[in-house]
Amino acid sequence: MKVIEHFEKANKPLISFEIIPPKRGGDMSSLLSIIDDLAQFNPPFIDITSHAAEVIYEETPTGFQKKIKRKRPGTLGICALIQNKYNIDAVPHILCRGFTREETEDLLIELQYLGIDNVLAIRGDDSGYEKPILYGRSANPYALELVQQITDMNRGKYLEDNLLDAEPSNFCIGVAGYPEKHFESPNLRMDIQCMKAKADAGADYVVTQMFFDNSAYFKFLEVSREEGLKVPIIPGLKILTTKGNLSAVPRKFYVNIPEELAKEVAAAKPEHVMEIGVNWAAKQVEELLNKGAPSLHFYIMQNSKPIMMLMKKIKL
């Protein structure tokens, strides 16, 4: 079922999750345990991140060597597992960076074969490696062009014009939104205008980057509606679990951590940080739901313990 169909049929707020594949050559058992934990909450869908090749430096007897590899492959297989074993709709992330348009089309065709109806179209992080585009191939520079490519496939238009008998795809397309604006954007309103362009090109819903101050989400929602964006906007949340999050989260995701939360985490013993993070998230959830948020999306990554603690505290 499509994500937007889940919204249309829901009679209560929906809870969804995002997970990350194991590292290259890793064990799937830990990820299966996480999915088992999440499945008890009956999520309508689970997002699975995707990762392009990146630059890695490995130490050898003769010094450091530069290698190009994908540290976390497996998105397609995990999607098939979630959808067929757990009967939960899978939402794979489709990237611009690191993939040609031709590779993207092949992936989308494979997803179509598997009966996967949903994708999240994003540009992707800078991995330090720019993939060469060879042999007349092409690439999507931004998420807008990626959305346009998927929309074209939904209309039966493929990259090769001679595929006259190709079946149209039927993907529900999600895109990312940034309540504190994308770090490359000059201001929030212009960033939202870019997001609306993706909706105009065929995107069906928006899921936001994590935020820890609900006022940022409410302002983002207000300006988005002023700009004429009508698609659902799902708030994305993350639970702080370690003191290291105070520096790592803002550095990697370009988001602010409120002074009150940061001070409490900084002053706490390490073993108490997760409880502080859960309590803060519970307050966020309560306010978001009281003010009409249609859904909540949690960035789980590879640790289900915080969300298990949170779900015991909140009432839906």
CATH code for the domain of 53: 3.20.20.220
CB 26 within 8 A of CB 309: no
pLDDT, tens only, 199-222? 999 999 999 999 999 999 999 999
Q: Tell me the residue range of the domain where 296 lies.
A: 3-313
pLDDT band at 226 (very low <50, low <70, confident <90, very high): very high
Q: How many domains does the chain have?
A: 1
pLDDT, tens only, 78-112? 999 999 999 999 999 999 988 999 999 999 999 99
pLDDT, tens only, 1-29? 999 999 999 999 999 999 999 888 777 88
Beta bridge partners of 59: 64
Q: Using CA atoms, how far apart are residues 193 and 191, in angstroms rounded to an integer?
A: 5
Prediction pTM value: 0.91
Q: How large is the average pLDDT for residues 253-276?
A: 97
User: For 262-265, which contacts have Cβ atoms below 8 Å and span 24 or more sequence positions?
Assistant: 265/240
Q: How large is the average pLDDT for residues 32-49?
A: 96
pLDDT band at 47 (very low <50, low <70, confident <90, very high): very high
Q: Using CA atoms, how far apart are residues 176 and 159, in angstroms rounded to an integer?
A: 25
pLDDT above 60 for 55: no
pLDDT band at 294 (very low <50, low <70, confident <90, very high): confident
